[in-house]
Amino acid sequence: GAVVSQHPSWVICKSGTSVKIECRSLDFQATTMFWYRQFPKQSLMLMATSNEGSKATYEQGVEKDKFLINHASLTLSTLTVTSAHPEDSSFYICSARIGLADLRAQFFGPGTRLTVL
Amino acid sequence: GQQLNQSPQSMFIQEGEDVSMNCTSSSIFNTWLWYKQDPGEGPVLLIALYKAGELTSNGRLTAQFGITRKDSFLNISASIPSDVGIYFCAGQPGGTSYDKVIFGPGTSLSVIP
């Protein structure tokens, strides 16, 4: 089946530093990749949608200068949390979709736990 | 904006019991999806529903797309310990692009052996 990986699986950083999270589709090319944030015991909140080679579309309330998304290829998207603060601590999950319309062809990564001290 | 509500918020059941949970919205959805998330993992798709009234099964799981297009339910029969996890409904709201899928708040399921 389709596999999406994330790296790192967890990261601890100091306040003010930047952290990069990678999302890769291992055995398929993804038309679109999505980044979600999940706080403890809460739901997944969509942060942004990105297509290869174009700028990401951010959801309302998500700061694009703070959460930089680069979608370099059909198999790789990166999320950089710039100048991280403790309130950015969360579980970040990426998702990759094959094609446009079939939501069954959207696969989620295992998530990255970010803790900002 | 569009919001999904799930009930119950959490459930504790005995192994072997059947489980029922549902998801509602104040607005129409084009697609309903049910996911399961294990602790520290990403969600995994269980069932996808595309048409009002559609009833779909996946092993011990059965889900239905409500006739009004504003609700969906998920049933799990003969629960087993590995059913433990958080179940999310998700959907594509009517009138939105294919990119937009929103998640409900989740139902936490605990199975007592």
Q: How far is CA B90 from CA A10, A12, A68, A107, B61, in A?
A: 26, 30, 26, 14, 16
A chain contacts of residue B36, beta-carbon cutoff 8 Å:
none
Please give the radius of gyration of chain A, using alpha carbons only, rounded to the nearest integer: 13
Confidence band for A101, pLDDT divided at 50, 70 and 90? low
Measured CA to CA, the distance from residue B50 to residue B65 in angstroms comes to 7
C-beta atoms of A93 and B43 within 8 A: yes
> Which residue of B50, B98, B108 is the best one to mutate when testing the A interface, meaning the one whose CB has the most A CBs within 10 A?
B98
Measured CA to CA, the distance from residue B45 to residue B56 in angstroms comes to 13
Q: How far is CA A62 from CA A31, A37, A85, B99, in A?
A: 22, 11, 15, 17
Report the pLDDT value the prediction gives residue B34, as an integer from 0 to 100: 97
B14: pLDDT strictly greater than 90: yes
Instruction: List, for residues B29-51, the tens digit of each pLDDT value.
Output: 888 999 999 988 999 999 999 99
CB B34 within 8 A of CB B101: no
C-beta atoms of A103 and B100 within 8 A: no
3-state secondary structure of A96: strand
pLDDT, mean over chain A = 92
Report the pLDDT value the prediction gives residue B64, as an integer from 0 to 100: 97
Report the pLDDT value the prediction gives residue B1, as an integer from 0 to 100: 57
Instruction: List, for residues A36-87, the tens digit of each pLDDT value.
Output: 999 988 899 999 998 888 889 999 999 999 999 998 899 999 999 999 999 9
Report the pLDDT value the prediction gives residue A100, as an integer from 0 to 100: 67
Instruction: List, for residues B51-103, the tens digit of each pLDDT value.
Output: 999 999 999 999 999 999 999 999 999 999 999 999 999 988 777 665 678 89
CB A93 within 8 A of CB A36: yes
Q: Which residue of B has its CA nearest to A2?
A: B44
Mean pLDDT, residues B12-16:
96
Report the pLDDT value the prediction gives residue A7, as an integer from 0 to 100: 97
